[in-house]
Amino acid sequence: MSEYILLLLFLPLAFAITILFNSVRVRNITTYLFVSFLALISLKLFFENTIIEFNFNHAVHILFIVLDFILMGYFLYQGVKYKDRLISVFAVVQLLLFILFLQFSTTNISSDIFVDKISYVMLLVINIVGGIIILYSLKYIQSEDVKDCKKNLFISILFFFLGVMNLTVTTNNIEIFFLGFELTTLCSYILIRYRGDDLAWSNAKRALWMNQIGGVAILFSLIASAYYYDTIYFDRLLEVVDDTFLIPISLLIIAAFVKGASIPFDKWLLGAMVAPTPVSAILHSATMVKIAPYLILKLAPAFSPWLSMSVVLFGSFIFFSGSLLALSRDYFKEILGYSTIALLGFMMAMAAINTKESINIALIVIVFHAISKALLFLQAGILEKVYHLKYLQDINYLSSYSRFIVFCIIIGFASLTLPPFGVFIGKFESIRLLASLMENNILYLISLIFILMGSVILTLLYFKVITKLIPEDKKEHENITIDLTYKITSLILIGLLFLGINISYQYDFMNQFDILVAVGIFAITFVMLYFIDFKNIKKVSEYNCGEKDEVQLSAYYFYIPQLYKTIIFYTAIALMIFVLCLGVV
C-alpha cells in the first residue's frame, strides 16, 4: 500500500509542474481527471484502513535538507528585498536553529512515513474537499485580469499545496513535518499576494512572518527532542517523553496554535481574505489550518493532565472569543474566517482530551467543517465574481438575485448549526463529555461554559446572516446565469454533507428515526422556501386589522469595545505562555 501514499505525495507535485505549460482546455480536462484520481486513492486507503509505514532513502533526506535551506533562504531574501525586519529576523533565526539542529545525530529512529486513522481522515479532507475547490478554481480564475500563464500558475500552486499537505499529515519525522509546515506557509504567501496590490502584499508579508513563528517553535522542539530524547520522530518522542520535561511537545502545540490562526495570530488568516476566494477555501478554512487539530490529535497521548487541561481551556476560550468577534463583522468572508478560528479552537480542545469519544468528535467536526466551509466560501466567491457583493449589507434580499446561492448558504450554515450534521453532533456530544469530566476536575466547568456560550453565539451569527437573505425587495434585478462549474461543485459538497449524516448513526449519536425526522424537516422547509414568492406576501402586525404594514428587516451589529478585544488578546497570550511553562515545570 505504500505505493499509493507515494502517489499522493509526488503526483500532485509532478502535475503542478506540467500544468504550467498546458493550454486552458488541456489544463481543465487533465485537472478533472487528476482530481478524480486523487479522490479515489484517498477513498481506497480510508476504507482499507491499514497502518502504513516506510522510510525514505538517504538521497531523499538530503534533498529535504537542501529544500529547507532553499526555503529559509527565500524567506530571508523576501525580508531583505521588501525591507521587512520581522521576516528577515525570523528567517535568520530559523537558519541558525536549523544549522544547530543538524549537529545532532540521533539513534532512536523510526519510520519517516506513518499513516493511521487520523492521517486517513486528513487525506480524505485534503484530496476530496481540496480537489473540489480546485475544480471550482478552474472557472473562478478565468475571470481574473491576468495572463494565462499566471492563471496556470494559480492552479499549479493549489496542486503543489495538495502534495505538501499529504506529506505533512503522513510523515512521522518532525524534520520533514517542519518542511511541510514551511511549504504551506510558502503557498499562503504566494497566493495571498496573487493580485499584486498593496493590501495583498501587506497581508501576505504578515502571514509569512506570523507563520515563521510556528516554524521557529518546531525547530526549537526538534533541538530539544534530539538533545534530551535522542529522536526526531513523533512516535518515538511520544513513547520516551518524560512528564517532567514536555517542552518539545509544548513547542509543537504553539506551532499548532500559529497555523490554526488562534488569537493572537488571527490577523494572518483574516488578512488572507484579500486573496482569490479559492485560496480562502482550500488553504485558510478547509484544509491547511486543519494542521492545528491534527497536530494536537497526534501529540495528545503524551500530554500530562495539566498540559491537556490547559490546551482544552485555551481551545474553548478561542471557540468563545472567535465566535464573539465574528458576530461584530460585516464582511462575509471575514465572518467565515472568524467562525473558522472559533471552530478550530473547539477541535483542538476536543483533541486535547484524548479519549476515544473526544477523538471521534474532533475527527467528525474536522470533516464536516471542511465541507461546510468550502461550500460557504464557494458561495462567497460567486457573490464576488458574479454579483460583485462582499458585505452583509450588500447581500440584502439575495434571493431576488439567486435562489441557488441562498439555498447553498442556508445549507452551509445549517450544517454548522443543526442536527443531523456532524458539527452539531460534535458540539452536543462535547457538552455531554465535558459534563461527565467535571466529576474528576472542576476546571472542565470553565471549558463547558465557553463551549456553551460559543455555540449560542455562533447560532446567532448564522441566523444574523440568514436574515439578510429574506426577500423584501420588489425591484427587478438582472437575471445572471451562474456557471455550471460553480453549481456542480456546490452540489457535490452538499451531497457530501448529506452522505456524511450516516456518521451520526454509525457512532450512535442519533438513531435512524431521529435522522429521518431531521432530514424530512429540512426537505419540507427548503421546498417551501423555493416555491413561496415572498415578494408578493403582505406582512401585517399582530394587532392590525389586515391593513398592509411596512416592515423592513436588517442585520443587527454587535459592538465589542476595544477593552474587551484587548482582554481577549492578552488572555490568549497568557494561556499560550502557560502551555509553554507546563512543558518545563
Compute φ and ψ for 103, nearest 5 degrees: -75, -15
Going by the DSSP 8-state scheme, the letter that residue 233 receives in this structure is B
Q: In sequence order, what are the beta bridge partners of 242?
A: 245
CA distances from 128 to 35, 185, 316 (A): 8, 21, 29
Closest among 204, 207, 209, 206 to 193, alpha carbons compared: 204
Q: How many CA atoms lie within 13 A of 314 on its CB side?
A: 33
Which three cell numbers, joined as nine digits, stand for 304? Answer: 500530562
Q: In sequence order, what are the beta bridge partners of 54?
A: 113
Contact between 71 and 208 under an 8 Å Cβ cutoff? The reply is no
Q: In sequence order, what are the beta bridge partners of 391?
A: 331
Predicted TM-score (pTM) of the model is: 0.91
The angle formed by the CA atoms of residues 520, 420 and 349, to the nearest 5 degrees, is 165
Residue-level length of the chain: 585
Contact between 368 and 426 under an 8 Å Cβ cutoff? The reply is yes
Q: What pLDDT score does 572 carry? A: 84
Query: With 0-12 CB in 10 A as exposed, 13-18 as middle and 19+ as buried, what is 195?
Result: middle
Q: How far apart are CA 539 and CA 546, in angstroms?
A: 9
Q: How far apart are CA 98 and CA 121, in angstroms?
A: 31
Q: What share of the chain is helix, strand, coil (3-state, %, to 5)?
A: 75, 0, 20
Q: How far apart are CA 527 and CA 530, in angstroms?
A: 5
Output the tens digit of pLDDT for each of the chain's 585 residues: 788 899 999 899 888 888 888 788 888 899 999 999 999 999 999 988 889 999 999 999 999 999 999 999 999 999 999 999 999 999 999 999 999 999 988 888 889 999 999 999 999 999 999 999 999 999 988 887 778 788 889 999 999 999 999 999 999 999 999 999 999 999 999 999 988 888 989 999 999 999 999 999 999 999 999 999 999 999 999 999 988 889 999 999 999 999 998 988 888 888 888 888 888 888 877 788 899 999 999 999 999 888 999 999 999 999 999 998 888 888 888 888 889 999 999 999 999 999 999 999 999 999 999 999 999 999 988 888 888 888 877 776 676 677 788 888 888 888 888 888 888 888 988 999 999 998 888 889 999 999 999 999 988 888 878 777 765 555 555 667 788 889 999 999 999 988 877 776 666 667 777 777 777 777 777 666 666 655 555 555 555 555 555 545 455 556 777 877 788 878 888 888 878 887 776
Helix H, strand E, coil C: the string for 155-209 is: HHHHHHHHHHHHHHCCECEHHHHHHHHHHHHHHHHHHHCCCCCHHHHHHHHHHHH
H or E element that contains 395? none
Q: How far apart are CA 432 and CA 184, in angstroms?
A: 36
Contact between 423 and 369 under an 8 Å Cβ cutoff? The reply is yes
Q: What pLDDT score does 553 carry? A: 47
Compute φ and ψ for 405, nearest 5 degrees: -65, -40
Going by the DSSP 8-state scheme, the letter that residue 290 receives in this structure is G
Q: How far apart are CA 63 and CA 72, in angstroms?
A: 14
Q: How far apart are CA 428 and CA 245, in angstroms?
A: 35
Contact between 333 and 389 under an 8 Å Cβ cutoff? The reply is no
Amino acid at 380: A
Name the residue ranges covered by the structural domains of the chain: 319-537+551-585
Q: How far apart are CA 52 and CA 46, in angstroms?
A: 12
Contact between 353 and 379 under an 8 Å Cβ cutoff? The reply is no
Q: What pLDDT score does 391 carry? A: 80
Burial code (b: 16+ CB inside 10 Å, e: under 16) for 276-303 equals bbbbbbbbbbbbbbbbbbbbbbbbbebb
Q: How many CA atoms lie within 13 A of 170 on its CB side?
A: 28
The set of residues, in sequence order, having a beta carbon less than 8 Å from that of 564 and lying 6+ positions away, is none
H or E element that contains 563? helix 562-584
Q: How far apart are CA 430 and CA 447, in angstroms?
A: 10
Query: End-to-end alpha-carbon separation of the chain, Å?
Result: 42
Burial code (b: 16+ CB inside 10 Å, e: under 16) for 211-237 equals bbbbbbbbbbbbbbbbeebbbbbbbbb
Which three cell numbers, joined as nine digits, stand for 202? Answer: 501587506
Q: In sequence order, what are the beta bridge partners of 113?
A: 54, 171
Q: How far apart are CA 168 and CA 294, in angstroms?
A: 10
Q: How far apart are CA 120 and CA 126, in angstroms?
A: 10
Question: What's the gap between Cα 51 and its chain centre?
Answer: 25
CA distances from 414 to 103, 193, 521, 568, 570 (A): 53, 33, 12, 28, 33
Q: How far apart are CA 125 and CA 48, in angstroms?
A: 17
Q: What pLDDT score does 585 carry? A: 63
